[in-house]
Amino acid sequence: MISYFQSVIYGVVEGITEFLPVSSTGHLILTSKILHIGQSDFVKSFEIAIQLGAILSVIVLYYKNIFSNWKIIKKVIIAFIPTAILGFLLYKIVKKYLLGNTEVVLWSLLIGGIVIILFELFLKEQESHKEKIEDFSLVECLTLGLFQSIAMIPGVSRSAATIIGGLTLGLKRKTIVEFSFLLAVPTMLAATGYDIIKNSGSFLSNQLEVMTLGFTVSFVVAIFSIKFLINFIQKHTFISFGIYRIILALIFLLIK
């Protein structure tokens, strides 16, 4: 069982890491390990639900972009399709075998960190790269959705997968980061809604309170995390995040 204090810790970790290319799911699983909390069905659902809290911060910060521009909405919906299909088909496998698997998380963090560094070193942003979401083609949107779906593997990072996909397609760094924010909205709404529908009947009242607390904390912290990342990428690459992922993975691999 997760205590209220532990729920706050989870919420802070989720809020900080959801939009950074470091894998929030991976960090939540490692947090469970540090707090000695077993990966029960409730804990797995809790980890999914509090991610929605972070995602809702996107709606607060980008509601004008989301609701006032049909072209952007259409691009996000198209990019969401691959994730929706694969997520529905692989839900049971991911939740049963991958969520809570520390080994998978650590190797995903390590390999993902190396990939981020290599992409940053060899794929430089060009003036010709697209800087408007409205200019994304149908193929680019679907491709970004496929890249995001790789993040069903814990430790990969949804934002990192989308960002790498965007860099590969020749999109501006700031543009693809903002698109990853928007794409997270339907993705996590669907993931959380589906999980709650499947499991809500098994939750106790105090478990729902714990989940609500973690949800709220992650929402508040995520607002500051988004603002930090947008400012950060104006002046820096993602190499530091790649290095962080590698160091974190190596530390846990050595002490496990």
Assess contact for 174 and 12: CB atoms under 8 A: no
Note down the domain range covering 60.
4-255
Average pLDDT (116-136) is: 81
Question: What angle is formed at CA 100 by the lines to CA 106 and CA 220, rounded to 5 degrees?
Answer: 90
Buried (b) or exposed (e) across 115-128, using 16+ Cβ within 10 A? bbbebbeeeebeee
Residue 176 pLDDT > 70: yes
Helix (H, G, I), strand (E, B), or coil: what is residue 171?
Answer: strand
Output the six-digit token pair for 82.
Answer: 């691959």
Residue 171 pLDDT > 80: yes
Q: What are phi and psi of 157, to 5 degrees?
A: 90, 115
Total domains in the chain come to 1
Q: What percent of the chain has pLDDT over 70?
A: 92
Output the six-digit token pair for 228.
Answer: 């930090």
Q: Give 206 or 176, the one with higher predicted confidence.
A: 176
Kindly report the length of the chain.
256
The amino acid that residue 246 corresponds to is I
Single pTM value for the model: 0.85
Label residue 256 by pLDDT band (50, 70, 90).
low
Average pLDDT (198-207) is: 67
Helix (H, G, I), strand (E, B), or coil: what is residue 130?
Answer: strand
Residue 107 pLDDT > 90: yes
Residues contacting 222, CB < 8 A, separation 6+: 14, 15, 16, 18, 19, 53, 54, 55, 57, 58
Provide the mean pLDDT of the chain. 86
Alpha carbon distance, N-terminus to C-terminus of the chain: 23
pLDDT tens readout for residues 74-106? 999 999 999 889 878 887 787 777 776 888 899
